[in-house]
Amino acid sequence: MPAATTCLVEWRPWGRAAFDEARAGQVPVLLALGPGWCPAGAAMLRGAYADTGVADLLDDRFVPIRVDADEHPDVADRYGLGAWPTTAFLTPDGQVLGGETYATAERMRDLLPRVADAFEQQRDAIAARGAASAAQPAVPAAAAPDPDVDAWLGDRLLAQFDDEHGGFGDGVKRVHGAALELAWRRAGDGDEAFGAVFERTLRAMVRGGLYDELDGGVFRYCARRDWTAPATEKLLAVNADALRLFLLPDDDGCLDRAIGVVGYVRRTLADPAPDHPGFFASQRGDPDYYRPRAAADAPAAGPPAVDRAVYADGTALMARAFAAASETLRDSSLLEFAVDAMEHVVAGTYERGGGIAHRSGSRTGVRGLLSDQVRAAAALLDLHALTDREVYLDMAQELMHFAIQHLWDPSGGGGFLDRVHGPEDIGLLREPLQPFAVNCEAARVLLRLATITADPAFRDRAVATLAAQTAAARAHGVDAAPYALAMRDLLDVD
């Protein structure tokens, strides 16, 4: 079947209008969900969605919606199927019928008619099942935070540690920022076993395939246990985590990598103009660009595309890393860069009573996400500590007060929801979701505010936040580290 060179699908944006169209036409929704950095997602746009047969099927029998997972993390957290891209089939009410990840044009030509036929034949039964499953009982929160998680997680980190290659587990290797921060702190307590965990893993990150020797910066992860076969996309948040880790030890190799990450971010993930808007979200993966080549060989094409969207949470993470680097590397320009980035994001998106928006430069996009408020507040507290400017402390308090007022779970169990809910929410967006790691980060911010302001209400809210995450903490394995770090902060405050 003939195919075009560009996408032929007439995509609708996520929103009430698209689902109303599906309801009026009594057809299902196809949700194409994925981040801009994903090579497989770009391949589907050039392949399956550039196929005339696929495009005709979608036009006749579906309402196709395309969502950038980075721009709408609340949608991504609820509809993602574990890998990118996600190809999900939804009812006109936003309930999930099924789906898969990457699919070829041939697969889509086979799958789309079967999904549409099944929906047409079973529409009433599907609607009844959706109504029956809409209400889910709440999980009761624990009565108090659990200080024993620190010891439990320490045992888990040592058990999962790859003594031969560094990192955790015997498969994919990635930057476990919180787990390695915890190992660093445990080593600082005098536990030599955790010193080995931290040092060997940092050595692998410095010397292995995670770091890009061509352009600088770190890749998203390495597919092999020995830190080789990198997935070549570069994400702002991953580079922020890596930079903060590289700054911790007094080690020339780590400092060289820190300098390399800073240089990469300034060249590629930021605008060098004096009024730069913040840090860009990501750079797309492209294995061909990074294939081994002789020093004199130029890549067949230029560097992979950069997603120049500026998101509040990602910019806050890198601003914190730049602020830390300004101290370690004795480079005041990095602090100035961090200050400019945060001031642009906050001033450009903040609304009184509405918090900050997710995407800088867009006052009509997603607003009121917990991750944006918490991570921006953490960055502002870092800037306050380094500059003594009270305005940063004031704004950090304002953002956390917004979170307490609008994002605190009203069900009675405590904890913060990931987003502000409203009457226009569709499908799974109606369901409350407490993001574990960000709640733990919120507790740490609240504890910092309690220390700075001497307001015990912040500490009490931090305790309630951690108590709400206690039941879930041990289910996260190595990724329970944010909880253990927050518990350590609580003990320090007390």
Q: What is the CATH number of the domain that holds 244?
A: 1.50.10.10
Same domain, 64 and 97: yes
State how far the Cα of 23 lies from the Cα of 10, in Å rounded to an integer.
18
Same domain? 118 vs 195: no
Final residue of a structural domain among 85, 102, 132? 132
Predicted confidence at residue 140, as pLDDT, reads: 58
Q: Among 132, 156, 176, where does a domain finish?
A: 132
Residue 3 — very low, low, confident or very high, per pLDDT cuts 50/70/90?
Answer: very low
| Residues 174 and 260 occupy one common structural domain | yes
155 and 282 both lie in a single domain: yes
Q: How confident is the model at residue 297 (pLDDT cuts 50, 70, 90)?
A: low
The mean pLDDT of the chain is 93
Q: What is the pLDDT of residue 124?
A: 76
Residue 215 lies in a domain: yes
47 and 171 fall within a common domain: no
Q: What's the Cα-to-Cα distance from 395 to each of 399, 491, 494, rounded to whole Å?
A: 6, 26, 25
pLDDT-derived band at 292, boundaries 50, 70, 90:
confident
Residue 354 located in a structural domain: no
**pLDDT higher than 90, residue 325:** yes
From residue 221, alpha-carbon distances to 59, 174, 178, 321, 426 in Å are: 37, 5, 16, 19, 33
Domain that includes residue 45, residue range: 16-132
- pTM of the predicted model, to two decimals? 0.94
pLDDT digits (tens, 9 = 90+) for 420-455: 998 889 999 999 999 999 999 999 999 999 999 999
CA distances from 334 to 165, 175, 176, 346 (A): 33, 23, 24, 18
Q: What is the tens place of the pLDDT at every residue in 371-389?
A: 999 999 999 999 999 999 9
Where are the alpha helices (H) located in 306-435, listed in sequence order?
A: 312-328, 332-349, 370-387, 390-407
Taking a C-beta distance cutoff of 8 angstroms, is the pair 379, 323 a contact? Answer: yes
pLDDT-wise least confident of 39-43, 54-58, 121-125, 171-175:
121-125
Q: What secondary structure does DSSP assign to 301-338, as a single string?
A: S-SPPEE---BHHHHHHHHHHHHHHHHHTT-HHHHHHH
Same domain for 152 and 220, yes or no, is: yes
Same domain, 58 and 191: no
Q: Are residues 112 and 163 in the same domain?
A: no
Query: In this structure, what token pair is assigned to residue 45?
Result: 């746009």
Query: Is 168 part of any domain?
Result: yes
**pLDDT-derived band at 413, boundaries 50, 70, 90:** confident
For 140, half-sphere exposure in the C-beta direction (CA atoms, 13 angstrom radius) is 3
Element (H or E) spanning 127, and its range?
helix 123-132
Are both 81 and 167 inside the same structural domain? no
Mean pLDDT on 299-324: 93
Cα–Cα distance, 314 to 324 (Å, whole number): 16
Does 365 map to a domain?
no
Element (H, E) at 100: strand 96-100
Please confirm whether the linkage preceding 85 is cis (ω < 30° from 0).
Answer: yes
Is 100 inside any structural domain? yes
Do 73 and 156 fall into the same domain? no
In this predicted structure, the answer to whether residue 141 has a pLDDT above a threshold of 60 is no
Q: Do 282 and 238 share a domain, yes or no?
A: yes
> What confidence category does residue 1 fall into, taking pLDDT thresholds of 50, 70 and 90?
very low
Say yes or no: 231 and 263 in one domain.
Answer: yes
Task: Give 36-45 pLDDT, tens digit per residue.
Answer: 999 999 999 9
User: At which residue do the structure tokens 């405050």 appear?
Assistant: 493
Give the list of residues 6+ apart from residue 218 with CB closer than 8 angstroms, or none.
Answer: 175, 205, 210, 211, 212, 234, 238, 239, 242, 261
pLDDT at 180: 98
Residue with tokens 């206690």: 470
Q: Domain containing 74 — which CATH number?
A: 3.40.30.10
247: helix, strand or coil: coil
> 370 lies in a domain?
no
Q: Which residues contact 213 (CB under 8 A, 6 or more apart)?
A: none
For the chain, the domain total comes to: 2
Tell whether 241 is covered by a domain. yes
End position of a domain, from candidates 309, 340, 356: 309
Residue 1 domain-assigned (yes or no): no
Position 103: which residue type? A
